[in-house]
Amino acid sequence: MKNVSVRFSGYIASITHVGESDAVILAIRGYITEFPRIVFSGDTREQIKGLKKGDHVDITGTVDASLASRKTAKGNVSIHRQRIIGRSIVPTISETMKYFGEDFGTYRSENLVIAAGALKILQKDEKRIRISINPSDGTEGIRMSCYNPSLISRINAMEEGQQVRVLAEIQTKLVKATETTKRRVNETIIVSNIF
């Protein structure tokens, strides 16, 4: 069982087909900083058929983490990778349809990551703490960041290895291309509560 589940509700910004997978970029809360990329593969790809850019959808899934190796001038370096795996995607039922039986296109956005596992502190300073929530099955942990001072204090009071539960959300940031790097989108899980 995965120790992390996700729930999103937003507008499809794009759908891309890459090999055996499809990726949906979702715009949450109005095209500003929340553009999670959700990968659908295998049988789940069928759910995307008929959906298009601009459709408002609800998505559930998990976060998958793994270690990869990258060659550098100094030798091989371990790289932590995590991606959002879609399990279901369905058109959103509008709030007006739910409550009044008429569809006038009023939708609620959702950006929720739910995690449970053993706490590991990776890095900390005065303004930020990076943690990993590690599942009991020995697979790679899910990495998150926290910027809230009261939550940082709470995390600092916790024991390494303590079982914790976390509510978080995905934030994205566009990193422009340079002479040596390609344009990319950084996806960060931001802790909004931990206990």
Question: What is the pLDDT at residue 73?
Answer: 83
Residue predicted with more confidence, 3 or 107: 107
Half-sphere exposure of 157 (CA within 13 A, CB side): 8
Answer yes or no: is pLDDT of 126 > 60.
Answer: yes
Task: Work out the angle at residue 10's Cα, subtended by the Cα atoms of residues 104 and 168, and round it to the nearest 5 degrees.
Answer: 135
pLDDT at 120: 96
From CA 2, how far away is CA 52, in angstroms rounded? 29
Mean pLDDT of the chain: 92
CATH number at residue 171: 2.40.50.140
| Residue 2 confidence (pLDDT) above 70 | no
pLDDT at 23: 96
Statement: residue 31 has pLDDT above 70: no
**Inter-residue contact 186 to 172 (CB < 8 Å):** yes
> Which pLDDT does position 74 carry in this prediction?
82
Give φ, ψ of 163 to 5 degrees.
-75, 125
Judge whether 132 and 176 are in contact, CB under 8 Å.
Answer: no
pLDDT confidence of 32, banded at 50, 70, 90? Answer: low
Tokens of 43: 């049988």
* pLDDT tier, 132 (very low <50, low <70, confident <90, very high otherwise): very high
Length of the chain: 195
Place of tokens 């978080």: 168
State how beta strands 4-18 and 21-27 pair. Answer: antiparallel
Average pLDDT over residues 112-123: 96
What are the tens digits of pLDDT across the range 37-95?
999 999 999 999 999 999 999 999 999 999 888 888 888 888 899 999 999 999 999 99
Stretch 5-23: mean pLDDT: 95
User: How many structural domains compose the chain?
Assistant: 1
How far is Cα 194 from Cα 87, in angstroms, rounded to an integer? 25
Predicted confidence at residue 1, as pLDDT, reads: 39
DSSP state, residue 95: H
Q: Which residue has the higher pLDDT, 71 or 165?
A: 165
Range of the domain at 107: 4-194
